[in-house]
Structure 1
């Protein structure tokens, strides 16, 4: 029974991370793209400053997640080669 509870405890964590990186980051990126065009009616319409700020925030979240993922994957290499402990 202890094995089953440990397995289920780990399973929800894996599912949560998979949903975040699998569907969450593309959804945040799409939200940023959508906020870039928010409030524009035509080709010559001026951009909405609030939409641009929202897009910057969304793109920053995606960029930080990508950089953190790359650093997490390369943490052993960075630690053994250069002595840099990231995480």
Structure 2
């Protein structure tokens, strides 16, 4: 059972890394734009009106997706800048922590 948990944990880490460093962020951005189009009624096929709850949900999904993309970009910039300054970047809690590299 421990092997299964370790395997799933490793697979989750690989999935997260591929989402952050691969095509994940552009996909999340595209999903946010699509949710916005869905919420404004741009993707309807008939002449029905757009439900106000649907409109709000589309905008909320857009802002959630944009927040994920912006946080991913800021995390990537933090890694690049910290290595350029000769520091290590740790994500021990919610906020990233910069520490000087050891000798």
TM-score, normalisation: structure 2? 0.53
User: Which is richer in helix?
Assistant: 1
Preserved contact between residue 28 and residue 58 of structure 1 (Cα < 8 Å): yes
Residue ranges of structure 2 left out of the alignment (5+ in a row): 1-10, 45-49, 88-96
Cα distance, 1:37 vs structure 2: 0.8
How far apart are the structure 2 equivalents of 1:25 and 1:38? 20
Count of aligned positions: 69
Could you tell me the TM-score, scaled by structure 1's length? 0.61
The structure carrying a bigger strand percent of its residues is 2
Runs of 4+ in structure 1 deviating by more than 2 angstroms, as ranges, are 76-80
Q: CA RMSD in A?
A: 3.1
